[in-house]
């Protein structure tokens, strides 16, 4: 079967109910080969926000991204902007090298999903809130810079 991408599992993506939020959701791909997973992402996202007309990203080479819990994690987490005829939503792309525990918390936080018992004050939750805050600050700075032009 040449050209067929194996299904790795369910698409791990969550959105907040407010699609206009600075970070409106998160996606946790299985691999660093995002091109192979975009079809599954598109299929999972389209019923939630509409048919995708464009996708843009804020990084040069995703394959080089360490996990978001790594000491050499970038100051600005990877973000993807998904545009449909109805809306534009920015999602945090959680590098596949990120620990599954932090990724699970980030998916819950970005999707406004209730945290599990005992997670509210955990180190992973504190990291997750910091990562989402950095992403939001970056987006606000970009918006301010664009308005100033």
User: Would you state the pLDDT for residue 71?
Assistant: 86
Domain ranges for the chain, please list them: 13-147
Task: Name residue, tokens 């007309």.
Answer: 53
Structure letter (DSSP) for residue 21: S
User: Would you state the pLDDT for residue 66?
Assistant: 87
User: Would you state the pLDDT for residue 103?
Assistant: 95
| 6 to 1, 24, 39, 61: CA distances (angstroms) | 10, 28, 11, 23
Query: How many whole angstroms separate alpha carbon 16 and alpha carbon 67?
Result: 23
Max CA pair span of the chain: 51
User: Would you state the pLDDT for residue 76?
Assistant: 86
User: Would you state the pLDDT for residue 1?
Assistant: 41
Query: How many whole angstroms separate alpha carbon 51 and alpha carbon 135?
Result: 25
CB atoms under 10 Å from CB of 73, counted, come to: 18
List of residues 6+ apart from 38 with CB closer than 8 A: 55
pTM: 0.87
User: Would you state the pLDDT for residue 82?
Assistant: 94
Q: Which residues pair with 70 in a beta bridge?
A: none
User: Would you state the pLDDT for residue 6?
Assistant: 54
Query: How many whole angstroms separate alpha carbon 73 and alpha carbon 98?
Result: 10
- For the chain, 149 residues long, give each residue's pLDDT as a single digit of tens: 444 455 667 889 999 988 888 999 999 999 988 888 998 999 999 998 899 999 998 776 777 788 898 888 888 899 999 999 988 999 999 999 999 999 999 999 999 888 777 777 888 899 999 999 999 999 999 888 888 77
Query: How many whole angstroms separate alpha carbon 148 and alpha carbon 125?
Result: 34
What does residue 142 show for φ and ψ, rounded to 5 degrees? -65, -40
């Amino acid at each position: 079967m040449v050209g067929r991408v194996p299904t790795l599992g369910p698409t791990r993506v969550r959105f907040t109910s407010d699609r206009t939020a600075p970070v409106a959701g998160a996606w946790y791909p299985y691999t660093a080969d995002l091109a192979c997973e975009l079809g599954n992402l598109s299929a999972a996202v389209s019923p939630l926000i509409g048919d995708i007309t464009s996708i843009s990203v804020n990084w040069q080479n995703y394959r080089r991204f360490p996990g978001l819990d790594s000491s050499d994690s970038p100051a600005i987490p990877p973000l993807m902007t998904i545009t449909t005829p109805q809306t534009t939503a920015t999602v945090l792309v959680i590098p596949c090298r990120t620990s599954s525990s932090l990724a699970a918390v980030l998916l819950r936080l970005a999707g406004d999903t209730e945290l599990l018992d005992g997670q509210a004050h955990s180190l992973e939750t504190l990291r997750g809130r910091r990562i989402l805050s950095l992403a939001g600050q970056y987006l606000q700075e970009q918006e301010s810079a664009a308005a100033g032009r």
